[in-house]
Amino acid sequence: MAAAFDLSGRTALVTGSSRGIGRAVAFALGRAGARVIFHGASDSQALRGAVEAARAEGIAAESRTADLGDSAACDRLASDCSGADILVLNASVQSYGHVGDFDDAEFDRMVRTNLRSSFRLVRAFGPSMAARGWGRIVSIGSVNQAHPAPRLAIYASTKAAQKALMLTAAKEWAARGVTVNTVTPGVIATDRNAKVLSDPTFADTLRESIPAKRFGSAEDCSGMVLALCSDACSYVTGADIPVDGGMSL
């Protein structure tokens, strides 16, 4: 059974993988044998440290930088990583506010980074994966795509649209060996969520609303992504799989 999860000979690009869920996913894929391309919006100690730590484990790892909100930079990333067999769309930006608080510039920033970049990368990698007869695309969604939090309307909208893009791509390439799926985390204890979870009263109330009675970890998500990227899940495509401790029930 272990052979079904073996990614030896595969190359994976994981966007936003210097920290959090993306980093955990990159390590999981690398430990399964994939060559991993870590990505960050810009050069940083976190990105360099992730690659160094991966190499210390014997993972074939390298890094690329690109501001995914910039179409030209996004396209350069795709060109630099052409030939990748696995694409994990993890990078995103979010900001909090009521609908009336957002201006056009912030709306456009989230749409460019969360949605347009997903489209450009899927468009760049999907056809070549299909031509080779094997490929895996996994987007990291959000529980907000179905149940938007009151102050995350724009972020939630981009994630809902990203999910629709994944469904369409799944139908298009299913017969050619390419699977396209969404993993939808609930409340994950990463540094992105550290500020909002720093209020103990709010955190306790939120934790009690989750059937599992705990927040998830990045590793809770990476195992599911690994499975979807392997041959073990070759017959799973177009799925939206919650990793949320039962929050969406």
Q: CB-based contacts of 133: which residues, under 8 Å, 6+ apart?
A: 176, 177
Element spanning 139, H or E: strand 135-140
Question: Does 151 score more than 90 pLDDT?
Answer: no
Question: Does 8 score more than 60 pLDDT?
Answer: yes
pLDDT band at 1 (very low <50, low <70, confident <90, very high): low
The domain made up of 2-243 has a fold known as Rossmann fold (3.40.50)
Domain ranges of the chain: 2-243
The two three-digit tokens of residue 197, written as one number: 């979870």
243 bridge partner residues: 185
Provide the mean pLDDT of the chain.
95
Q: Which residue in 125, 155, 173, 215 is the catalytic one?
A: 155
For the chain, the first-to-last Cα distance in angstroms comes to 31
155 catalytic residue (yes or no): yes
Question: Does 29 score more than 70 pLDDT?
Answer: yes
Question: Could you read off the pLDDT of 133-142 as tens digits, one per residue?
Answer: 999 999 999 9
Q: Compute the average pLDDT of residues 152-164.
A: 95
Lowest mean pLDDT among 21-25, 76-80, 135-139, 140-144: 140-144
